[in-house]
Amino acid sequence: AQTVTQSQPEMSVQEAETVTLSCTYDTSENNYYLFWYKQPPSRQMILVIRQEAYKQQNATENRFSVNFQKAAKSFSLKISDSQLGDTAMYFCAFMRPRTDKLIFGTGTRLQVFP
């Protein structure tokens, strides 16, 4: 069975600085999808970024980028130029194709300080 591990329960960063959130996963599949979701205090789940395992290039969305290391089964999220609005819980998630079922990690609470 697939598992997702986020080993950092809490992180903090100063505004405008860069922070990296860690995620590792366990699977025997070769093709799959990985996601980072943001959950602000409003509780709404918001997709931040996604990565297809067959793509070697790391995904980037504006200030958000990932470091995808397939052999190491690692999928970290880098937030550049952190903003106060980035304060939220961040969840890493795994999906095996043709199942569309997401498996979530336990989350990392990120606090951005002015």
List contacts with other proteins (CB under 8 A): 4, 33, 42-45, 47, 50, 91, 93, 95, 97, 100-102, 104-107
Q: What angle do CA 92, 24, 49 make, to 5 degrees?
A: 35
Q: Between 98 and 114, whose beta carbon lies closer to other proteins?
A: 98
Q: Least distance (Å) from other proteins to the CB of residue 18?
A: 24
Distance between CA 49 and CA 64 in Å, rounded? 7
Q: Least distance (Å) from other proteins to the CB of residue 33?
A: 5
Q: Between 88 and 105, whose beta carbon lies closer to other proteins?
A: 105
Q: Least distance (Å) from other proteins to the CB of residue 59?
A: 11
Q: Between 19 and 90, whose beta carbon lies closer to other proteins?
A: 90
Beta bridge partners of 13: 112
CA-atom Rg of the chain in angstroms? 14
